[in-house]
Structure formats: structure tokens, C-alpha cells
């Protein structure tokens, strides 16, 4: 177990209904404005030595907290987080901020990203991410997501890791000659993010054909054999395990049915340690991934000298629903109804234009 690097927890403070409504209106206006800013303006702290990039959506989100870019370490890709330490965290999120909690807390599986960590050795880049499922404390009447149906690996749902490996290249993510992204996922990237490699895989290992997608000569992704490298070909491995790899679990103990909206994520007074509310860590899960540096055209020396950027995204099939670093695009339609099931969130099917700066690994 290790302690995350977010600021010290503060007790939630109750607010009078009228005061909270007024505050929520103000926060909604702020978050609405935040969704309109360009990529270079989506953080409230300047990037630099030792600076934590804080997302406009809340005080506990951070990119490269304390200037952390991961570190060299020996990692066994078995899903468990026993090899990982707090100084490896490159992107910090919060618990209970996935779209289903704002509209559709009865739904599962749960893909609520909490933290993303990075490490490397002389041969591989390693990623580890924490997924939390706090339904047991925020909406205990919902039994379905608390069962095995809530586990992220329960069904075949796409996950993606976007990388900026070459500072001189990048793409918007649209398939060459098409109108959508890889695997039909409605995600695009800003030019400033420099995404030039994309790793798509199932939340359920062993299902489908996970692959590393690289740019073609026209600077776009496609399905041509020379630009698609299966995990077997690239040597990429990943695994999952149940459990929680942190000592504190920071989030807001509420649901959309009780009036919880994305704008509340800006209000530090609403956060608490959800472990104190009795959350069972066995509801949570960790994933690990090993990526040969050679498959990215890198060496350990190059990684440590120039670094690379990373963005992790979870989906519900059609569209991203959570990301690390946290991007406002994954919550901009969270409270609106999903076309096929109005009791759940439109975020599962909307288009997402990612603009948040990628977390850096190896070198800032």
C-alpha cells in the first residue's frame, strides 16, 4: 500500500441548501468556461520544474505531481501493484468521477480511473493504473456494480493509451480516409498533444486483437499491416488484479440522483477519504502493462533524455468516459441521456476532443 501524492485531505463541510445551490451555479459557469479553453490553457498551474499541473475540473487532479516523471525500476507484469511506489505517479485523478455516477449508478462495469504510474528498465516501459469502484459507499443500494459485473475486466470494453513519442509528429486520431478514430471510438486529439502512437486493447485480457498503431506516411492511423503491430508482434503484455494500491481514496461521496454534478468536482470542501466511509478495496482493480522500448523506437537512454507523453483513456465501447490526465471532454455530457438507454449517460456515445497536456514519462 502507498499514499498518493495529492494535497492533504480536508473534511467535507456541510452547506446550507441555498448556499450550495448558488455555489453550484457559479461552479457550473466556471466549468463550462473551462471546457471552451484551448489545450494550452487547461491547467491552472504553470508547467515547470517541480510544478504539478492541476486540471480545471478540481483541486485534487494533477499531472506530473511534484515534477514526477516515473523512474527506473524492476517491474513484474502480473497486475498487482506491489512493485510500485508513490514517486512513480505521473497523473492523479479522484474517485467517483466517472459519468455513470452522475447518470446511471446502477450500471457496470466501472471504469473510474484514479492514478497512472510509470517506470522503465533497460528494455521496457511499464504503466500501472488504478481503477476504483466506490458504489458500495456512495450508492450501496445498487448491487449490480458491486458484484462481479462491476469489475473492469468482466466484459470486453476498449481501453486506449495514447503516446507522444516523436516531438516532430502527431495526429488528430482520425483514421486515414474515415470519419472516426481507431476501432470506431469517437476520440480526437489536439495538434499540441503530439499523439503519434496509440495502443488499443480490451479491458478483458485475451479477448480480441490488441495492437499498437503507428502513423502512416500521411501522418494518420490506419489498418494497414505495416502500421498495426499486434501485442504478440510488439511484445506488449498486460494483466490485472483486484485491490487498492493507495492508503487514501479521495472523492466526493454522492451520486447524480442526490444532485451531484461534474461542477462539484471544483469544490474542495466536498471531498473526503472514501475509505473512512467503509469502502471495500476488493471492489477496486489495478492494471499493469509492459511495452518494449524497441517497439516504440526508443532506448532507455533516449527515454531518460527526451521523455514521452502519455494519455490513458477508458471507454464504454463508443466513447471515452474517463482519462488520466483528466480531460474536461470526458464529462462534458455526463448528465445528458444516452440514446439507447436514457437512464445512463450520453458520455458513452459523444465525441471527445482531447486537449489536456499529456503526462510526461522519463523526462519533462
pLDDT tens figures, 279-301: 999 999 999 999 999 999 999 99
**Cβ atoms of residues 150 and 110 within 8 Å:** yes
What is the percentage of the chain residues whose pLDDT exceeds 90? 83
pLDDT tens by residue, 339-350: 999 999 999 999
Domain extent, residue 226, equals 17-361
Name the more confident of 25 and 294: 294
225: exposed, middle or buried (Cβ count in 10 Å: 0-12, 13-18, 19+) = exposed
Residues contacting residue 131 through CB under 8 Å, at least 6 positions apart: 110, 111, 112, 113, 114, 152, 284, 285, 286, 287, 314
Cα 43 to Cα 34: distance, rounded to the nearest angstrom: 9
pLDDT tens by residue, 246-259: 999 999 999 999 99
Helix (H, G, I), strand (E, B) or coil at 340: coil
58: enclosing H helix or E strand: none
Q: What is the rounded average pLDDT of the residues 186-215?
A: 97
Confidence at 53, pLDDT banded by 50, 70, 90? very low
Beta strand residue intervals within the chain, DSSP E: 62-63, 71-72, 89-92, 112-120, 124-132, 158-164, 187-189, 197-202, 211-214, 228-230, 237-242, 250-252, 271-273, 285-292, 308-315, 320-324, 337-338, 341-345, 352-354, 359-361
Q: What is the rounded average pLDDT of the residues 187-205?
A: 96
CA 31 remoteness from chain centre = 19
Helix (H, G, I), strand (E, B) or coil at 52: coil
CA 24 remoteness from chain centre = 25
Name the more confident of 2 and 162: 162
The answer to the question of residue 357 being in a domain is yes
Name the more confident of 230 and 12: 230
Which residues make beta-bridge pairs with 189?
354
The answer to the question of residue 81 being in a domain is yes
Name the more confident of 174 and 13: 174
Which residues make beta-bridge pairs with 80?
none
The answer to the question of residue 3 being in a domain is no
DSSP 8-state class, residue 54: P
192: exposed, middle or buried (Cβ count in 10 Å: 0-12, 13-18, 19+) = middle
**What local confidence, expressed as pLDDT, does residue 310 receive?**
98
The answer to the question of residue 10 being in a domain is no
The answer to the question of residue 5 being in a domain is no
The answer to the question of residue 4 being in a domain is no
Confidence at 2, pLDDT banded by 50, 70, 90? very low
The answer to the question of residue 257 being in a domain is yes
pTM: 0.86
Cis peptide before 325 (omega within 30 of 0): yes
Three cell numbers, residue 13? 463541510
The answer to the question of residue 250 being in a domain is yes
Cα 289 to Cα 127: distance, rounded to the nearest angstrom: 5
**What local confidence, expressed as pLDDT, does residue 58 receive?**
83
Three cell numbers, residue 214? 503507428
Q: Give me the number of domains the chain comprises.
A: 1
Amino acid at each position: 500500500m502507498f499514499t498518493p501524492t495529492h494535497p492533504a485531505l480536508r473534511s467535507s463541510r456541510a452547506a446550507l441548501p441555498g448556499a450550495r445551490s448558488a455555489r453550484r451555479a457559479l461552479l457550473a459557469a466556471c466549468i463550462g468556461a473551462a471546457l471552451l479553453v484551448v489545450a494550452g490553457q487547461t491547467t491552472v498551474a504553470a508547467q515547470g520544474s517541480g510544478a504539478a499541473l492541476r486540471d480545471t475540473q478540481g483541486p485534487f487532479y494533477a499531472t506530473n505531481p511534484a515534477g514526477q516523471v516515473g523512474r527506473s525500476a524492476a517491474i513484474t507484469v502480473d497486475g498487482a501493484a506491489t512493485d510500485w511506489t508513490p514517486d512513480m505517479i505521473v497523473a492523479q485523478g479522484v474517485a467517483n468521477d466517472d459519468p455513470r455516477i452522475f447518470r446511471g449508478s446502477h450500471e457496470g462495469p466501472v471504469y473510474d480511473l484514479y492514478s497512472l504510474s510509470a517506470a522503465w528498465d533497460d528494455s521496457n516501459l511499464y504503466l500501472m493504473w488504478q481503477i476504483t469502484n466506490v458504489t458500495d459507499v456512495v450508492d450501496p443500494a445498487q448491487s449490480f456494480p458491486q458484484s462481479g459485473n462491476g469489475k473492469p475486466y468482466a466484459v470486453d470494453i476498449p481501453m486506449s493509451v495514447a503516446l507522444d513519442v516523436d516531438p516532430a509528429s502527431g495526429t488528430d486520431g482520425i483514421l486515414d480516409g474515415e470519419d472516426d478514430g481507431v476501432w470506431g471510438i469517437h476520440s480526437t486529439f489536439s495538434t499540441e498533444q503530439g499523439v503519434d502512437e496509440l495502443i488499443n486493447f480490451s479491458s478483458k485480457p485475451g479477448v480480441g486483437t490488441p495492437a499498437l498503431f503507428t502513423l502512416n506516411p500521411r501522418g494518420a492511423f490506419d489498418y494497414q499491416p505495416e502500421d498495426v503491430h499486434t501485442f504478440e508482434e510488439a511484445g506488449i503484455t498486460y494483466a490485472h488484479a483486484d485491490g487498492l494500491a493507495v492508503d487514501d481514496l479521495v472523492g466526493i461521496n454522492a451520486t447524480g440522483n442526490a444532485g451531484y454534478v461534474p461542477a462539484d468536482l471544483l469544490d474542495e470542501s466536498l471531498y473526503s477519504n472514501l475509505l473512512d466511509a467503509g469502502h471495500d478495496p476488493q471492489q477496486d482493480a489495478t492494471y499493469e502493462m509492459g511495452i518494449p522500448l524497441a517497439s516504440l523506437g526508443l532506448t532507455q537512454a533516449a527515454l531518460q533524455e527526451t521523455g514521452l507523453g502519455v494519455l490513458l483513456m477508458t471507454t464504454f465501447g463508443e466513447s471515452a468516459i474517463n482519462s488520466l490526465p483528466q480531460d474536461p471532454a470526458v464529462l462534458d455530457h455526463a448528465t445528458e441521456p444516452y440514446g439507447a438507454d436514457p437512464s445512463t449517460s450520453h458520455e458513452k456515445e459523444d465525441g471527445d476532443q482531447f486537449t489536456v497536456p499529456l503526462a510526461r514519462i522519463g523526462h519533462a
